[in-house]
Amino acid sequence: MSAPLLSIENMVVSFGGQSQPAVRGVSLDVHRGEILALVGESASGKSVTVKSVMRLIDFQGGRITGGRIILSGKEPVDLAAAPEPVLRRLRGARIAMIFQDPMTSLNPVMTIGAQLTEAIRQHGRAADAQVRALAMLEQVRLSDPERRMAQYPHELSGGMRQRVMIAMALVCEPDLLIADEPTTALDVTVQAEILGLIRGLQKQNGMAVLFITHDMGVVAEIADRVAVMLQGEIVEEGTVQKVFDAPRHAYTRKLLDAAPKFREGGTATPVEVDRAAPVLSVHHLTARYPVRSRLLRRHIANVHAVEDVSFDLHPGETVAIIGESGCGKSSLAKSLLRLLPVAEGRAFLAGRDLLTLEGEHLRAARADIQMVFQDPYAALDPRMSIRQILSEPLRIRGLPVEGALLEALIARVGLPEGSLDRYPHQFSGGQRQRICIARALVLRPKVLIADEPVSALDVAIQSQILDLLKSFQRDDDLAMLFISHDMAVVERVADRIVVMYRGRIVEEGPAYAVLGQPSHPYTRRLLQAVPVSHPRRRMDRAPMGEPTPSPIFPLGSTPALGSWRQIGQDHRVWEA
């Protein structure tokens, strides 16, 4: 084998105030044209390792205290010892990085086009910067790329922002791409497209990829070799086939066992529900938002975020809402909570129409419908103790705050004794999500909306959070609206599935029917994009086709009319 493009030799990384190094004696080689996956749970040292390669760790209170990082070339460079001017020339041009959280990585006061062209001009390619930037947005399947060039990060969905980050990293065609959880926030079709894009560019340009992930399905889909990290050390390394077939280390076996596997564990056993008594009944819900011209702010079009949506949710039942970014999943959830305005429709919660309530009546109704958000880091006030966070919903409604109740709730969600007087930054991501669940359930709601509650968590933690949600549901007869893009998770928890496309429900039915016999072309497309569970099942995927059409319609235009066709018992599909 030829000399490695990147060679990490016995690297040690330390942070001030820590008694033990965060990374200890890590050695890795990354060769041209290969994808090396670095896997492990949170705090295992994955991100510290790759940020050390870029020397970004210097700006976060860390420093490399031992070892070398050799980047090959006409004149090999030891990145661990290189001065900042040298590193600045290499970043972006020879080594580029895709970060996990695009919202904190993009400049909020610069347009998308300005940020992309800045990266191109920084490395001496100013002449065709605009054309290259636009072509890159098209390559990462960002809908309406010319319009996106003039938009700001806050105007895009999470999935769209991540696609912009990927475009920025790839636009200068680096030799080494470091991807830190780049598809965690993306739906399955975009994830499949991005994985295919990275793989294609890697083959086309001979580019090396260092891919950090906690998703073993993604590893099976894309990696050539795997390195497993635990507590700052590499505990296992090998080809992806050998690691999946015969993992040697107990921790590797734990990661593989914890990963949810689509179409291998079977769908959840549907709960028996009283069809005559839904706890939530939604009728013809429609939400549209105006699009205004930039110059005169004229109302020129509408975003059809939610279009004529109807469904029922029964006590003890889990209905999963699936679809790509921008399909209307989160807009539907926020509309039900009255966090977004609704144009038409009705939504009855225990007999009360949520969409007509105001003031004290709406506040009282919200006690019966609570939400767990995707990002537990952003969902908790860092200045409030856990006791204050859990007490706040009770105080708002004038209910007594009993210490024994809060202690019992903390114990029930699996947090250690003494957690109430600590603050969010003192907890891991999985523990923070448990706090979010406790806050949502402190009022004993009838309906829980879970918006991607495990997508940002490690696979072992995902399993624990899903078990926790199901235990609450079983014990309290809780109805759950579960929003997700992870089909293996949906298969595990859902009794029924609702598929959304461009704001409209296009297929609905029992989980076993929708997953086993998908009838709408869009549903089949979603399922075909799910990553494989073992590298032997890897296949050359056909391109996913055209990007999902924009949900923006000019004034006076409406989506095409259609009708429902019954496929089987409680299983129907929309046909335009």
- Both 250 and 291 in a single domain? no
pLDDT in tens, 276-310: 689 999 999 999 888 887 777 888 888 888 999 99
pLDDT for the residue numbered 280: 96
pLDDT in tens, 357-400: 998 899 889 999 999 988 888 889 999 999 999 999 999 988 89
pLDDT in tens, 48-59: 999 999 999 999
Q: What is the arithmetic mean of pLDDT over 413-429?
A: 89
Instruction: Give dist(CA 272, CA 409) in Å, integer.
Output: 27
Task: Assign 455 a pLDDT band (cuts: 50, 70, 90).
Answer: confident
CB proximity list for 495: less than 8 A, separation 6 or greater: 268, 270, 271, 273, 317, 318, 319, 510, 511
- Both 445 and 504 in a single domain? yes
pLDDT at 459 over 80: no
- Both 399 and 534 in a single domain? yes
- Both 242 and 302 in a single domain? no
CATH code of residue 529:
3.40.50.300
Indicate the average pLDDT of the chain: 88
Q: Under the phi-then-psi rule, with left for phi > 0, alpha for psi from -120 to 50, and beta for the rest, what region is 277?
A: beta
- Both 432 and 523 in a single domain? yes
- Provide DSSP, 105-155: HS-TTS-HHHHHHHHHHHTT--TTHHHHHHHHHHHTT-SSHHHHHTS-GGG
pLDDT for the residue numbered 548: 65
pLDDT at 344 over 70: yes
CB proximity list for 574: less than 8 A, separation 6 or greater: 504, 505, 506, 507, 520, 562, 563, 564, 565
Residue 382 is assigned to a structural domain of this protein: yes
Q: What is the arithmetic mean of pLDDT over 558-566?
A: 85
CB proximity list for 408: less than 8 A, separation 6 or greater: none
Name which residue leads in pLDDT, 149 or 558: 149
- Both 398 and 251 in a single domain? no
pLDDT at 185 over 70: no
Question: Which amino acid, residue 48?
Answer: V
Residue 16: helix, strand or coil by DSSP?
Answer: coil
**CB hemisphere CA count around 255 (13 angstroms):** 32
Residue 192 is assigned to a structural domain of this protein: no
pLDDT in tens, 67-107: 999 999 888 999 999 999 999 889 988 999 988 777 778 99
* Cα 255–Cα 217–Cα 481 angle in degrees, nearest 5: 95
Lowest mean pLDDT among 19-23, 330-334, 497-501: 19-23
pLDDT for the residue numbered 305: 86
Q: What is the arithmetic mean of pLDDT over 495-512?
A: 94
pLDDT for the residue numbered 199: 84
pLDDT for the residue numbered 576: 80
Task: Assign 152 a pLDDT band (cuts: 50, 70, 90).
Answer: very high
- Both 233 and 314 in a single domain? no
Residue 147 is assigned to a structural domain of this protein: no
Give CA 342 to chain center in angstroms. Answer: 26
Give CA 102 to chain center in angstroms. Answer: 11
Instruction: Give dist(CA 71, CA 89) in Å, integer.
Output: 13
Q: Cα-flanking dihedrals φ and ψ of residue 135, to 5°?
A: -65, -35
Task: Assign 18 a pLDDT band (cuts: 50, 70, 90).
Answer: confident
Instruction: Give dist(CA 384, CA 393) in Å, integer.
Output: 13
pLDDT in tens, 525-542: 888 888 777 787 776 555
Lowest mean pLDDT among 218-222, 498-502, 519-523: 218-222
pLDDT for the residue numbered 211: 95
**Max intra-chain CA distance, the chain:** 75
pLDDT for the residue numbered 275: 62
Look up residue 560 and give its DSSP letter: P
Instruction: Give dist(CA 102, CA 56) in Å, integer.
Output: 16
Residue 509 is assigned to a structural domain of this protein: yes
- Both 532 and 562 in a single domain? yes
Residues 100 and 181 sit within 8 Å (Cβ to Cβ): yes
Residues 559 and 155 sit within 8 Å (Cβ to Cβ): no
Name which residue leads in pLDDT, 140 or 549: 140
The answer to whether the pTM exceeds 0.95 is no
Total residue length of the chain: 576
Q: Which residue's structure tokens are 């015969």?
A: 246
- Both 370 and 475 in a single domain? yes
pLDDT at 557 over 80: no
pLDDT at 120 over 60: yes
pLDDT for the residue numbered 237: 96
- Both 246 and 387 in a single domain? no
Instruction: Give dist(CA 304, CA 31) in Å, integer.
Output: 47
Instruction: Using DSSP bridges, classify how beta strands 344-349 and 280-292 pair: parallel, antiparallel or unpaired.
Output: antiparallel
pLDDT for the residue numbered 218: 87
- Both 309 and 389 in a single domain? yes
| Dihedral over Cα of 432, 433, 436, 438: its sign | negative
Q: Of the candidates 259, 290, 325, which is a domain's last residue?
A: 259
Lowest mean pLDDT among 126-140, 255-269, 337-351: 255-269
Residue 441 is assigned to a structural domain of this protein: yes
- Both 416 and 538 in a single domain? yes
Element (H, E) at 47: helix 46-54
Residue 312 is assigned to a structural domain of this protein: yes
Residue 441 belongs to domain spanning: 280-575
469: its two tokens: 């949600």
The total number of structural domains that make up the chain: 2
Residue 420 is assigned to a structural domain of this protein: yes
Name which residue leads in pLDDT, 422 or 274: 422
pLDDT for the residue numbered 271: 60
- According to DSSP, the residues that pair with 213 across neighbouring strands are 39
Residue 10 is assigned to a structural domain of this protein: yes
Instruction: Using DSSP bridges, classify how beta strands 369-372 and 447-451 pair: parallel, antiparallel or unpaired.
Output: parallel
pLDDT for the residue numbered 421: 93
